[in-house]
Structure 1
């Protein structure tokens, strides 16, 4: 029976008075009065256990011993038998017998030895260890680390508290299960395993990886991570099958250059093409950051030529050293490929290759006080496809912009913006001359507002001039345009308390009237460099110009009327629902159009409807529609929903319809469906809530995918279908992808990955594809917190 006398016996033989007080408190015994002055030291020790103990402090910590029988000589040696226990700092040893030599700081333990060192646990028959240096050996140990990895070795040698070497050792993250014939699903065996907990790196010699007791990969010499900490070395190879490239084998190498710089080299062997050399370099400095990616294929056997690509993004600030100027900001986005077919052949080589026009953009910006300025150069690379040519966008070499803005200056808001751009493109494709365009916009407004209403009159003056490299159809080589615009924006806001479906809300009613007048100026002869017709939606219906860009300014004499109602949470102000309707009343026909466009007639416009519902965090719904009241036809409509009742359960669905009145070929009707969902739900197995990045338990199947279907083409455009299986200590993924790389070509691929949790991955990398195609996709394993040694604290 554990009575006070026996507990006192356990605390009888300690090596310092402070240790007696601590031991007494641990076993519920009263401490001696003379030790009260030492209490802060005990509290300090308790605090130190919450973090890594410095070596200098560790050597000053007391040593606690307890057991059924204790004997020895003071300051020389101690022998503890029967439930023997020794503690110092974050090191604890339990055994049938412990012999401790204090001058040598050497502990010898025999029989059912259990060691806990800062949360890492070792168990075996015999231990010999110097406590402060943590130097010694352990025979036949089983070990368990904080990263949930386990293993066994014939012997482990402790070099110091951060380095150890295990001989004829195993390593796995599969949990131990009862039974004499326990065998993990995967296990890593090696002649020697070196553990470096300072760098969180393991190194193996003469190693072999076995899966389901079948050897799958030999490793004569390799290193592997003990945590999510970055480290240099070979990354797991990836393997995939592609309909164009054949079998893809990539062997990446990661170089951890510095805490703020790293690089990845990714040589790739394609069975149908040859060797592709890829790489990526990332850097993060105090005033700037960036990333550079590049690929080079010396000889493409399918195209019989060299292939290459590069992409770089950089942004940051430049200190001019002149106080009156301040800092300059810069942004660089460069993308270039060797030929027009590159995006078709290598759709995943660079992020920008999902489109047929690649930007090469660099800008320098400055702002101080009310002034701002930007200098920019933009040059496009247009990838033309045989049989489906596209009109290239205009290069801007250069574009210079300046602005002066004042808000609430005597109740007025005013600004002046100027822009000079030189547009350049192949006139044989654009069918219009290049030009130098100067543009200025001056505007002044006076907002009057109060709780419940607002009125904002605004006056604008637009001035534009052109210099063309070849004459227009009327023979002019220059042109200019000056247009004033007046607008008046009015609104009211009503509020009331309301209740719907058992929930209390603060409901608003917000009617709004927006009038705009711009006189007509004939702009039919002017080329179009950057203007496009704005979509008819709630973001543009209350704006002065029907066009984006600066080449077209629409004439207008119209009134926009709309009303919006919102349901707000009375406690947090969060918006649970929004419903809106708007319509334009045009008093005179709009005459200014884009080339090939038709003018908007006088009278009422299409009816614009929209709603956004976020009733609960589980689901949301957004919908909008443009309805012609004469034909009752929907010219544009979209509806999208998101449902996610918990982690690893998400469904996204959307339907979009658009009829282009100017270019019917640009019209489209598509629906899109994406999801991640546990298949086990079908037979009633709802899994466990283990938290973010931990999955839902062992034996879980997940279905993942995305279907994008064109109703006009009657076929799937982009498709991703796959399965994920979580076995607890390993995850299997298989993914089939069909990607339209251009209007005429489609790329198909199969990706497979086997992830050994906490160790390595084999196969391709489908998780990035899933993250891109499935909004709300959750990784089955993602480290969100650093493991604490208190998770294995004794």
Structure 2
């Protein structure tokens, strides 16, 4: 019984299978419980939220909303809708030239310009067959877009099983935006699992601009944040160090709290390297194990197999126990210079090998630690700490306003250098302090007693700079210390330059440590020791109570440290500038030493300053000037301009040769390290062009020796589906063999890195820049509050 109308909205009498209603508009009102608005609209379609599981009865009772220009129905078994047909049921929506609805099976067959939408896919097809109850759907000659991931492609046939599983035949797959075919996968079969957020490809080939690049019989890739075992997207690069490089990562989803990534890294000039990262999360904490192995380095065959390993762990157990592990080791000292590695960086100069376990309570804590180093230079044998047990006790206000602290440790030092002693050291340090303060002042007098016992082991007296030392196998030392630290906080009633609120914070400290003979202790004269080195005397160091790290040498003191800090705040109380300066006054004339005059009674002046102008221009600077010798010892300065698209930074660093000779623990008398000191200037910049392009460059230069230290220039392009990075670096790595600083012949390593990667599959696929890097890089040394 056919009937038609130009804008007919058909009402099909009766119900579909098991009484599922068909709702349409024939000009008569519909009941409120089955009301719908025409043209048909729904908020359920194309929502990424997975719906709650419904019972079979609930699914069957969902209404089927139909709109069409005409309908032909017969015998309550089939209805053919034609002309602008629009059907909605639950989270399915179909638009087509014609749709045939088989009522008994509850199956709709759409033909001609078919637009199909579900909760996670939109597609256009020549033909779509769908079960309106189970949502099982078959599509023919389809172009699809996933709603909840940036995935699109084509397929000769698509089979949708339920709400989340898609099977595609003779299909393509890409995450590039529409009309961008920079890359894609083509495969005989593709499985998309929306619940696991992974895609599986069979007989896949990867194409760039429609040109096949490589073939893989099987590969899985992430399309969301879910983890699943499979081969991840390879990346390729080309540089002058390794030649053509292809990296294929394989991800292993071992358990919810364990996973691993193994990367097969082929390097044209080096061979094939295996890299593995294992991550874990347990009750004892979180950690990562990294391993790298190159069986034979074709570029340096004499170095044999090359490898690197590291283990980093940190965790807290039952609130009180804390575990820390930081262990790294490589096969040879040139490892970081020759290979790109995630184990460490060459500018560190050494790799840490340490571990500690601590127990902490409110009043006390105890820590046991071991520590060693792999030094990445020749002929250096540092001391191993095997082990150290440290105990600390805290008793604030244990008597009236007095605070009591107790610090102690027992340490065992060992070394492979037979010319140095090994030792067991016991150190006890009780401290009593009285912190006093008011609204505009603070004063803290404190006294400590430092007791240290050494058991030193050596076969013959170790050699010092002036001959054999006079060490004792057993020696103890007791040193008292008195320290008084006070400060005043003043606000100006007048605004600086009529705009800024200024504060002045004068500070003074008195420190007394009697002179005690410590020559029987290794390092007891201030030259090194088991774990001691001289600290830099910048402004913040003026108010320390020690000149050396560690306790092998406690320098005597009878001195006043004086200084002041002035801060400037704007109307919002944001700190815009500060300047600090100070000096130590020695009561016993133990300051600057001179070859012709007696020791002076003051240290070098130290000054630090920071400046922020309108949140786009920043400055930091610091100097140490010895007025006794009229010599500038140390200076550093950094000026940075920031804008919405990037930054430009210029910096300069200076250290006098005299300062190096007096404070560096090795001799520089033959000028093998430096002839003039450090005169280092650098400029760094980064500029972003739009949302896609990033330019960066840096250049460091020795202004005294007049040669380049390092240079780097790079450009990166990032789009929604691929990235491109080109980076050139040139680094000073050594001098010619046999050359001295009087005949400089610097050797450089030049590296050109080209990186190309696809983006959009998982969170770690895209490469943001070439991997060429420099030891001297960007720093942000600004220390303003707020």
Query: Are 2:221 and 2:233, in contact at CA under 8 Å, matched by a contact in 1?
Result: no
420, 432, 441: which one aligns with 1:444? 432
Distance in 1, matches of 2:95 and 2:431, equals: 81
1:20 deviation in Å?
11
Q: What does residue 149 of structure 2 align with?
A: 147
Q: What does residue 64 of structure 2 align with?
A: 63
Q: What does residue 625 of structure 1 align with?
A: 623
1:776 deviation in Å?
9.3
403, 417, 428: which one aligns with 2:392? 403
Q: What does residue 322 of structure 1 align with?
A: none
Distance in 1, matches of 2:708 and 2:517, equals: 44
Q: What does residue 290 of structure 2 align with?
A: 293
Q: 1:498 to 1:130 in 2, by over 3 A?
A: farther
Q: 1:488-525 CA deviation, whole Å, 9 max, x = no partner?
A: 111121235776789x6554222212221222223345
1:290 deviation in Å?
1.2
1:403 deviation in Å?
0.7
Q: What does residue 744 of structure 2 align with?
A: none
Q: What does residue 208 of structure 1 align with?
A: 205
Find out whether 1:313 has 2:312 as its counterpart.
yes
1:91 deviation in Å?
2.6
Distance in 2, matches of 1:515 and 1:31, equals: 93
SS in 2 for 1:673: strand
Distance in 1, matches of 2:538 and 2:189, equals: 66
Q: What does residue 452 of structure 2 align with?
A: 464
Distance in 2, matches of 1:550 and 1:14, equals: 95
Q: Calculate the TM-score normalised by the size of structure 1.
A: 0.80
1:461 deviation in Å?
1.4
Q: What does residue 717 of structure 2 align with?
A: 725
221, 230, 233: which one aligns with 2:230? 233
1:363 deviation in Å?
1.3
SS in 2 for 1:210: strand
1:565 deviation in Å?
2.1
728, 739, 753: which one aligns with 2:755? 753
SS in 1 for 2:54: helix
Please show how residues 466-485 of structure 1 align to structure 2 within 5 Å: 466-470=454-458, 473-474=469-470, 476-485=472-481
The CA RMSD measured in Å over matched residues stands at 4.2
Distance in 1, matches of 2:723 and 2:779, equals: 19
> 246-255 vs 407-416, which deviates more?
246-255
Q: What does residue 575 of structure 2 align with?
A: 575
Query: Are 1:347 and 1:354, in contact at CA under 8 Å, matched by a contact in 2?
Result: no
Q: What does residue 735 of structure 1 align with?
A: 727
Distance in 1, matches of 2:384 and 2:159, equals: 66
Q: 1:285 to 1:497 in 2, by over 3 A?
A: farther
Query: Are 1:510 and 1:563, in contact at CA under 8 Å, matched by a contact in 2?
Result: yes
1:375 deviation in Å?
1.0
Q: 1:497 to 1:35 in 2, by over 3 A?
A: farther
Q: 1:453 to 1:468 in 2, by over 3 A?
A: same
Q: 1:342 to 1:702 in 2, by over 3 A?
A: closer
Find out whether 1:674 has 2:651 as its counterpart.
no
Q: 1:365-397 CA deviation, whole Å, 9 max, x = no partner?
A: 111221111111112233443xxx4x3321111
Q: 1:497 to 1:233 in 2, by over 3 A?
A: farther
SS in 2 for 1:737: strand
386, 389, 414: which one aligns with 2:404? 414
Q: What does residue 607 of structure 2 align with?
A: 609
1:405 deviation in Å?
0.9
Q: How many residues align?
A: 722
Query: Are 1:524 and 1:592, in contact at CA under 8 Å, matched by a contact in 2?
Result: no
Q: What does residue 585 of structure 1 align with?
A: 585
Query: Are 1:21 and 1:35, in contact at CA under 8 Å, matched by a contact in 2?
Result: no
Query: Are 1:173 and 1:758, in contact at CA under 8 Å, matched by a contact in 2?
Result: yes
Find out whether 1:254 has 2:251 as its counterpart.
yes
Q: What does residue 739 of structure 2 align with?
A: none
Query: Are 1:438 and 1:464, in contact at CA under 8 Å, matched by a contact in 2?
Result: yes
Q: 1:664-711 CA deviation, whole Å, 9 max, x = no partner?
A: 647533233333213x5xxxxxx3xxxxxxxx1xxx543223334344
Query: Are 2:239 and 2:754, in contact at CA under 8 Å, matched by a contact in 1?
Result: no
1:351 deviation in Å?
1.8
1:143 deviation in Å?
1.3
Query: Are 2:12 and 2:22, in contact at CA under 8 Å, matched by a contact in 1?
Result: no
Query: Are 2:724 and 2:767, in contact at CA under 8 Å, matched by a contact in 1?
Result: no
SS in 1 for 2:49: coil
1:216 deviation in Å?
2.7
Larger RCO (CA under 8 A, 6+ residues apart): 1
1:436 deviation in Å?
1.5
Distance in 1, matches of 2:7 and 2:14, equals: 13
Q: What does residue 326 of structure 2 align with?
A: 333
SS in 2 for 1:541: helix
Q: 1:261 to 1:478 in 2, by over 3 A?
A: same
Distance in 2, matches of 1:20 and 1:771, equals: 70
Q: 1:300-330 CA deviation, whole Å, 9 max, x = no partner?
A: 45116333332111222456xxxxxx84322
Query: Are 2:712 and 2:774, in contact at CA under 8 Å, matched by a contact in 1?
Result: no
Find out whether 1:158 has 2:160 as its counterpart.
yes
1:53 deviation in Å?
0.4
Find out whether 1:111 has 2:107 as its counterpart.
no
413, 419, 439: which one aligns with 1:423? 413
Query: Are 1:162 and 1:198, in contact at CA under 8 Å, matched by a contact in 2?
Result: yes
629, 632, 636: which one aligns with 1:634? 632
Q: Give unpaired runs (5+ residues) of structure 1.
A: 39-43, 178-182, 320-325, 681-686, 688-695, 778-794
Q: 1:91-111 CA deviation, whole Å, 9 max, x = no partner?
A: 322223334445533222233
